[in-house]
Amino acid sequence: MKPLVLKSRILQIGKSFFQVIYRNLYIALIALNILIIIIFVVQFTSAKYPVVGGDYRLFGPRLLDSLLHYKVNGFSIEWYTPSFGGGLPAYPNPLQMQFSFQQLFTFFVNPYIAILATSAVYIIVGFWVTFLLLRDVLELKPLSAILGAGFFVANGFFIERMVVGHADKITFPLIVVPIFALFYRKIPAWLAGVLIAITGAILLNSGGVYIGFMCFFTAIVTLPIAYFLKPALVDLKKIIPVVVWGGILTLLLCGSKLYAITTYMETFPRDVHDHYFVTWYASITGAVFQLIGVMTTLPFLKLIGKSSLVLVVRLTKWTGTPYGFWEIDSSISPAMIILLLYGIWTVLFHKPNIERSNLIKKAIAGICLILSIIFVVQFSTARGFMFEAVKGWPLIKSIRTNSRFIAAFVLPLVILGVKGFDHWIMGKSGFKTISAFLFLNVLSLVALWAYYLLPFKVQGRNFDIRSVVNTYAKIQAGETFPVEKIIPAMNDYEVFEAQASNVTHHYDPLLGPTSFLPLVHEGSVFDITNGFYNMTDPTGYVFPKENNSKLFSLIPVSDNKKLIEFLSRHQPDWKLPLIQIMLDWAAGLTFILVLLAVILYSIRKRIPGLMVLRLPHRRT
């Protein structure tokens, strides 16, 4: 073999070898980041196990109830449950999560582990999609994209939801998926619409109405930012088909649940509004420190010898919120704060390179960005002309704890922060780039453990989960716990083993003490008064016309068979309106058709960046 040919072969083999190392290195970094974040979330959430966050007492029993439904009835909709409130609608409740990953995992593990497992899935999906958004859509370098993905999923809002037990809000990492689908050009519009619709269905069926609003707020801030970073992304000819497909498929997939929820909420409308009696200055200060939060402030307070309760007290005072600290902490990484400060310094002290093309479009984008920021800030602080204009709208009027929505700024800030890092490493040597990345990446991961500096007493950990775990074990052993009596003051997590239904201690934010007034009394459900059993006819809450029932009406003696079926957790032959039946079929058929379409498309054509983690050859 000639020397030149041999040399060429050696160089080619060497190049291929380094490409393999290159690819595996980035995959290893991604996997390591995801693993560390999952370990922290699981470890910190379980730091006082079996004592966990207070809201696990809301979602644990609901998951048990739906599991019992599946055990007795097979795969079907749980329209009503005898477990709570003397008989209530189940599927129409916005917090019921029968068709969710949390519920799916209960077939294999208890509800607490099911929620932890679901959080791990959402961390993986959120990290992966954020990485693809930053690398493939915004065309940032892989190291920048890895940093940004970690910043996004490992934020205080998500961590606090896990700790306190807001199982309906742990879908937060998924809000990046519709934004990615809106901008990603390597898949057809219908498939991007499928991503949006599936995400919407997951949010809705996980009880995540709040996260749906969070997704919208994040999108309206991110859209103009994306235009400034890469104007070609905001192409209405490409965005509109995605929005149309996404809108139609979302309505088809979610119409059944939405109609049931709105029907139920006509009975219990939950008109609530937050009022934070603080000045505008205090509100803005509070909003800023909500985002700075635990990961940066608590190590600083520790360093200067101050109590971590200083942040708790000050942040509560600035925001004016009457809620627990977990409702106001939306901490971003200190590494991200460093990058944001670098970006601000670069803009202020370096002459910006402003392109004079498309000035009108840039002006429109700038106005949209400012208005979007003002709107989200006003909504988060529950004040201002924009908030006043929309606070009476359907669904919005049932939302409280507005301080949560400041987390809508997490993804936009992540994009700006890692854009700063991407700008900084331009022209830098490989050693400087890797060193800066490692410093920021390690800092962001280590900063998570700052949450251990926060006293447990302010974290809402006050529920012993063992009652839920023990009941789960008995359900898996074959117990079905048919309901036999009413015990008004019994907690949700106690009703199963007591074979009872409760009233006053039913933990449901929709059912207030002045609006929820069932006619059942303590004693056997077979007690008869004026021709009625001691059990509420739950159709009176949602579909009274179709079933000749009324609000709070009891099950008549003439419906003895239906009572027996209901108490044994079967679904009696109670009628549904035609529109609900049609929407149920539409949701089921749409899901099947969408699944088949995606499978066929995947077989015919590999989806770049989605089916495999494709890494480039020439970026650093």
Tens digits of residue pLDDT in 364-407: 999 999 999 999 999 999 888 999 898 888 778 888 889 999 99
Residue 206 belongs to some domain of the structure:
yes
Q: Looking at 152-161, 289-298, 454-463, 610-619, which range is the least confident one?
A: 610-619
For residue 614, pLDDT over 50 is answered with: no
What is the domain count for the chain?
A: 1
Query: Sorting pLDDT into bands at 50, 70 and 90, what band is 25?
Result: confident
> At 523, which helix (H) or strand (E)?
strand 523-524
Query: Do 45 and 116 touch, CB atoms closer than 8 A?
Result: yes
Closest CA to 155 of 451, 454, 455: 451
For residue 203, pLDDT over 80 is answered with: yes
Residue 352's pLDDT is 59
Residues 6+ apart with CB under 8 A from 509: 95, 270
Collapsing DSSP to helix, strand or coil, 314 comes out as helix
> 349 — phi, psi (to 5°)?
-115, 10
The pLDDT tens digits for 129-158 are 999 999 999 999 999 999 999 999 999 999
479-502: average pLDDT: 95
For CA atoms 306, 308, 310, 315, give the dihedral sign.
Answer: positive
Query: Sorting pLDDT into bands at 50, 70 and 90, what band is 347?
Result: confident
For CA atoms 57, 59, 60, 66, give the dihedral sign.
Answer: positive
Residue 524 and residue 579: Cα distance in Å, rounded?
Answer: 36
Q: In percent, how much of the chain has pLDDT > 90? A: 77
Residue 350 belongs to some domain of the structure:
yes
Query: Sorting pLDDT into bands at 50, 70 and 90, what band is 190?
Result: very high
Residue 129 belongs to some domain of the structure:
yes
| Secondary structure E strands in 15-108 | 51-53, 80-81, 88-89
Query: Do 445 and 33 touch, CB atoms closer than 8 A?
Result: yes
Query: Do 245 and 206 touch, CB atoms closer than 8 A?
Result: no
Query: Sorting pLDDT into bands at 50, 70 and 90, what band is 616?
Result: very low
202-230: average pLDDT: 94
Residue 519's pLDDT is 94
Residue 86 and residue 349: Cα distance in Å, rounded?
Answer: 66
Residue 618's pLDDT is 43
Mean pLDDT of the chain: 91
Closest CA to 42 of 109, 118, 111: 118
What six digits make up the tokens of 10?
């050696």
- Please give the angle made by the CA atoms of 92, 177 and 205, to the nearest 5 degrees: 10
Collapsing DSSP to helix, strand or coil, 501 comes out as strand
Give the number of other CB atoms < 10 A from CB of residue 585.
11
> How do beta strands 485-486 and 500-501 pair?
parallel
> How do beta strands 80-81 and 88-89 pair?
antiparallel
For residue 612, pLDDT over 50 is answered with: no
Q: In percent, how much of the chain has pLDDT > 70? A: 93
Residues 6+ apart with CB under 8 A from 574: 79, 80, 538, 539, 543, 546, 547, 562
Closest CA to 115 of 176, 158, 168, 175: 168
CA 218 vs CA 102, 150, 158: distances in Å: 24, 17, 15
460-472: average pLDDT: 96
For residue 353, pLDDT over 80 is answered with: no
Q: Looking at 349-363, 376-390, 525-539, 567-581, which range is the least confident one?
A: 349-363
What six digits make up the tokens of 560?
């003895």
- Please give the angle made by the CA atoms of 532, 491 and 83, to the nearest 5 degrees: 45
> At 459, which helix (H) or strand (E)?
none
Give the number of other CB atoms < 10 A from CB of residue 565.
16
Residue 220 and residue 433: Cα distance in Å, rounded?
Answer: 32
Q: Looking at 12-21, 120-129, 294-303, which range is the least confident one?
A: 12-21
Collapsing DSSP to helix, strand or coil, 248 comes out as helix
Provide the residue range defining the domain that includes 159.
Answer: 18-463
445-474: average pLDDT: 95
Residue 410 belongs to some domain of the structure:
yes
What six digits make up the tokens of 20?
């393999």
541-562: average pLDDT: 95
238-258: average pLDDT: 96
Residue 8's pLDDT is 62
26-43: average pLDDT: 95
Closest CA to 443 of 32, 156, 151: 151
Residue 371 belongs to some domain of the structure:
yes
For residue 1, pLDDT over 60 is answered with: no
Query: Sorting pLDDT into bands at 50, 70 and 90, what band is 577?
Result: very high
Residue 352 belongs to some domain of the structure:
yes
Residue 442's pLDDT is 96
For residue 107, pLDDT over 80 is answered with: yes
What six digits make up the tokens of 351?
């002459």
Residue 333 belongs to some domain of the structure:
yes
Residue 474 belongs to some domain of the structure:
no
Whether the full predicted model's pTM is greater than 0.85, yes or no, is yes
Residue 611's pLDDT is 45
Residue 355's pLDDT is 65
The torsion defined by the Cα of 168, 171, 175 and 177, in degrees rounded to 10, comes to -140
